[in-house]
Amino acid sequence: MTTSPWTETKPTAILVLADGTVIKGTGVGAIGQARAEVCFNTALTGYQEILTDPSYLGQIVTFTFPHIGNIGANDEDIEDLTPAARIGPVGAVIKADITQPSSYRAVEHFDQWLKARGIIGLSGVDTRALTAWIRENGTPNAVIAHDPSGNFDIAALTAEAARWSGLEGRDLAKEATSGQSSSWVQGPWVWNEGFAEGAGSLAHIVAIDYGVKRNILRLLSGMGCKVTVVPATASAEDILAMSPDGVFLSNGPGDPAATGEYAVPVIRDLIDSGIPVFGICLGHQILALALGGRTVKMHQGHHGANHPVKDHTTGKVEIVSMNHGFAVDGKSLPEGVEETHISLFDGSNCGLRLVGKPVFSVQHHPEASPGPQDSHYLFRRFMTMIGERKGFETAAER
């Protein structure tokens, strides 16, 4: 990728890749600099959810859709549990200038929201050219910098990007987790009414928080569950002492093999207990490790809301939301572990189940509703497993 030309006015933000490529534009959001891995996201909507997703910790998100920020920001489309901690991507790269908000739900201009979140932004970039570069070369390490004066030491920034070790081998779940046990009672969002209050008597779900998204907890709560969130480092003994009817393994950032060093023994003990287990994204990857599989770093990852995934157990194809740079190697799954879902883009593994036990997981995000509800049946599948164990009936999976 060639270095982008200077604009007529002095650039106030740059993205410097580890190979020396420099991309220049206009700074938005927070002032400062951060090093991270650069990925791209192809979703047309949901930029606020993307920029508050803890799974993006340690990354800079390039948006292929040109109009980012045009509906402003609000207080409802937040995914991280503790917004004050600002767990999520450190940077955003966008094409068009940020316009005034055009949504009745907006409470804040997007630029101001980025500043408050501490996200460094770079606008005026040919994001599709950057995306093509990533597809060809893989996700690069980089430094994003915003300085209103336009003074940048490019040599130093290049060296910093080249020195950064990247995401492989890094356990980021300990940074993304909420760090303490808590109860979750908020249910799904209802048009013009806001978030419903979740019921809590049908079953007790313990969610292990590796960087969990709020809407996952909302859907669990909305199915009549009492939901308790525990830290990523919670022991099996602590979890089982809560007498859960089911355990949920959440999404999160970083290398699953690194997080698995302490998470895998816990998950194995939970499986041995016979309690139903359901994992999403990082939870799916760590579950695969616990069952004897392995994970790999992907060339460019899957990030977007238009990914076709086939469920072999139903024969149906779903349009799903994805956000992962690591994946389960489907060929590594041992006997007794069945591959249930695959990506129709590249054939990569997107789901598994443990034959004969109430244990399953998926790589994609069924709570993100791009279909819009193609994958909600997975939550009902989890509840069916719990109901069979507890002796109550649940809604059909459909």
Q: Domain map of the chain by residue range?
A: 13-163, 173-390
DSSP secondary structure of 133-185: HHHHH-PPEEEEEE-TT----HHHHHHHHHH---STT---HHHHS--S-EEE-
Average pLDDT, the chain: 94
The token pair that represents 251 in the structure block: 């999404």
User: For this structure, is 367 an active site residue?
Assistant: yes
Its sign, for the CA torsion 233, 283, 56, 373, is: negative
What was the pLDDT predicted at 177?
96
Count the helices and strands in the chain (H runs, E runs): 10, 19
Residue 397 has pLDDT above 80, yes or no: no
Count how many Cα atoms sit within 13 Å of the Cα of residue 26 in the half-sphere of its side chain. Answer: 12
The angle at the Cα of 130, spanning 129 to 131, to the nearest 5 degrees, equals 90
Residue 260 has pLDDT above 90, yes or no: yes
Q: What is the mean pLDDT of residues 85-112?
A: 96
Catalytic-role residue among 37, 49, 225, 281: 281
Global pTM? Answer: 0.95
User: For this structure, is 365 an active site residue?
Assistant: yes
Query: Right CATH number for 173-390 from 3.40.640.10, 3.40.50.880, 3.40.50.720, 1.10.1740.10?
Result: 3.40.50.880
Catalytic-role residue among 303, 324, 364, 365: 365
User: For this structure, is 39 an active site residue?
Assistant: no
What was the pLDDT predicted at 1?
53
Residue 182 has pLDDT above 50, yes or no: yes
What was the pLDDT predicted at 267?
98
High-pLDDT (> 90) share of the chain, %: 88
Residue 121 has pLDDT above 50, yes or no: yes
DSSP secondary structure of 64-95: SSS--STT-B-SSS--SS-GGG--S-SEEE-S
Count how many Cα atoms sit within 13 Å of the Cα of residue 351 in the half-sphere of its side chain. Answer: 25
For 31-41, what is each residue's pLDDT tens digit? 999 999 999 99
For 320-378, what is each residue's pLDDT tens digit? 999 999 999 999 999 999 999 999 999 999 999 999 999 999 999 999 877 778 899 99
Q: What is the CATH number of domain 13-163?
A: 3.50.30.20
What was the pLDDT predicted at 198?
78
Q: What is the mean pLDDT of residues 230-252?
A: 98
Catalytic-role residue among 37, 79, 160, 367: 367
